[in-house]
């Protein structure tokens, strides 16, 4: 999925000086109950480097699928859309994927995710390459609530 | 001469009645302005299907304050976020789970049967009344409560559902008293919930 985008972004970034330094924190996914096949995961990305970067894809272990989505609320209506061009992580910025906003949509779950467990996700950045992270499964209300 | 006078008075009466009809008709018959949900003409009796597969009549809500939210169970973000927030606010009110009832009505009856709409209570470990019904029943209830929803194809060949994400609040007399929007602060939402449970 979207294999061409990282390549295109890499080409577009040629000639730009510096390199990004991307760090991931506070990754968590909402727990699920039996027969629930989808959920959402959230995290914070900080870029303390000297060049912009972009989260272009999220990969989950088969058969689970992951993609970056945005929830937009306007005029009392909630709409969820895939972010086909990924998430920009400019130099010096901290980008939050949080409930009610941009999130990683997780689908194709065959078994429930129980709190305390970890889900492995591979984040693919345009310049920083792939980062394998452990996403902690937390209660529906969020990791701080219990 | 007398006949003419009578005819004239009759015409005056007709003109007055027409004027009164045009200016005093109930607000609910007029087009809603923008996205605001009209306070009058909201709700009314309904019958849906509970998570136990049995009919659920709105008469069961008589005398109970309630918060009504429409969504779908394949919704990974805004639906669990909204319902988890209502549960959290109900806990903060400190008056127990009976202080107000949380109702979740699916706008996706094709995928959400009784067992699916019961999932949120299990997930949130708190009483949340999940309701489904036939597509015709759901359409009727959506109309009664001014709810919008539309299926949107997603990238994996399935679909997501755009839908009204505003929570509707009703007091113990079944009166529609206001809404909670996703972008509203917890403080403002809590004040509104206090009002319906007072």
Q: How many domains does chain A have?
A: 1
Q: Please compute the mean of the pLDDT values over residues B177-188 and round it to a whole number.
A: 95
Per-residue confidence band for B7, with pLDDT thresholds at 50, 70 and 90: low
Q: Using an 8 Å CB-CB cutoff, list chain A residues near B166.
A: 76
Q: Please compute the mean of the pLDDT values over residues B114-138 and round it to a whole number.
A: 96
Distances (CA, A) of A35 to A130, B112, B116: 31, 12, 8
Residue B5 or residue B63, greater confidence: B63
Per-residue confidence band for B50, with pLDDT thresholds at 50, 70 and 90: very high
Domain CATH code at residue A90: 2.60.40.1890
Q: Is residue A28 part of a domain?
A: yes
* Helix B186-197 vs helix B78-93: crossing angle, to nearest 10: 60
Q: Using an 8 Å CB-CB cutoff, list chain B residues near A29.
A: none
Q: Residue B57 belongs to what domain range? A: 47-197
Q: Is residue B193 part of a domain?
A: yes
What pLDDT sits at residue A38?
Answer: 92
- Output the six-digit token pair for B4: 């003419």
Q: Is residue A98 part of a domain?
A: yes
A·B CB contacts under 8 A: 87
Q: Residue A110 belongs to what domain range? A: 4-138
d(C-alpha A139, C-alpha A30), whole Å = 6
Do the Cβ atoms of A73 and B81 come within 8 Å?
no
What is the ipTM metric for this complex? Answer: 0.84
Q: Is the pTM of this model over 0.95?
A: no
Q: β-strand A22-30 against A129-138: which pairing, if any?
A: parallel
What region does A30 belong to: left with phi over 0, alpha with psi -120 to 50, or beta? Answer: beta
Q: Is residue B141 part of a domain?
A: yes
Q: How many domains does chain B have?
A: 1
Nearest to A33 among B34, B78, B122 (CB): B122
A111 min Cα distance to partner chain B (Å): 14
For chain A of 146 residues, list the mean pLDDT of each consecutive stretch of 10.
Answer: 53 66 98 92 98 97 95 92 94 96 95 96 98 97 76
CA A109 to chain centre: 17
Q: Using an 8 Å CB-CB cutoff, list chain B residues near A30.
A: 76, 80
Q: Is residue B14 part of a domain?
A: no
In tens, the pLDDT along B62-71 reads: 999 999 999 9
d(C-alpha B97, C-alpha B80), whole Å = 18
Q: Is residue A122 part of a domain?
A: yes
Select the residue from A78, A82, A143 to test the B interface by mutation, using most B Cβ atoms within 10 A: A78
């Amino acid at each position: 999925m979207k294999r061409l985008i990282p390549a295109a972004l890499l080409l577009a970034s040629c000639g730009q000086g510096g390199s990004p330094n991307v760090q991931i924190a506070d990754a968590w996914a909402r727990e699920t109950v039996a027969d629930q096949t989808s959920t959402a995961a959230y995290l914070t990305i900080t870029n303390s480097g000297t060049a912009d970067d972009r989260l272009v894809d999220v990969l989950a272990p088969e058969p689970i699928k992951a993609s970056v989505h945005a929830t937009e609320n306007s005029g009392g209506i909630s709409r969820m859309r895939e972010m086909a061009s990924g998430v920009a992580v400019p130099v010096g910025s901290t980008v939050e994927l949080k409930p009610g906003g941009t999130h990683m949509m997780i689908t194709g779950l065959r078994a429930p995710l129980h709190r305390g467990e970890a889900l492995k996700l591979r984040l693919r950045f345009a310049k920083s390459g792939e980062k394998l992270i452990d996403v902690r499964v937390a209660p529906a209300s969020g990791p701080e609530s219990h | 001469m007398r006949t003419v006078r009578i005819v004239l008075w009759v015409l005056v009466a007709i003109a007055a009645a027409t004027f009164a009809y045009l200016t005093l008709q109930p607000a609910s018959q007029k087009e809603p302005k923008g996205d605001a949900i009209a306070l009058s003409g909201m709700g009314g009796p309904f019958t849906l299907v509970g998570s136990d597969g049995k009919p659920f009549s709105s008469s069961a809500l008589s005398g109970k304050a309630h918060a009504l939210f429409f969504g779908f169970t394949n919704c990974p973000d805004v639906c669990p976020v909204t319902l988890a927030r209502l549960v959290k606010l109900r806990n903060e009110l400190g008056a127990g789970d009976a202080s107000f009832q949380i109702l979740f009505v699916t706008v996706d009856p094709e995928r959400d049967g009784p067992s699916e709409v019961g999932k949120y209570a299990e997930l949130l470990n708190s009483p949340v009344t999940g309701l489904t019904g036939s597509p015709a029943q759901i359409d009727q209830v959506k109309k009664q409560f001014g709810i919008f929803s539309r299926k949107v194809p997603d990238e994996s060949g399935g679909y997501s559902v755009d839908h009204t994400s505003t929570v509707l609040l009703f007091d113990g007399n079944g009166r529609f008293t206001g809404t909670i929007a996703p972008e509203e602060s917890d403080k403002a939402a809590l004040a509104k919930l206090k009002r319906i449970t007072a």
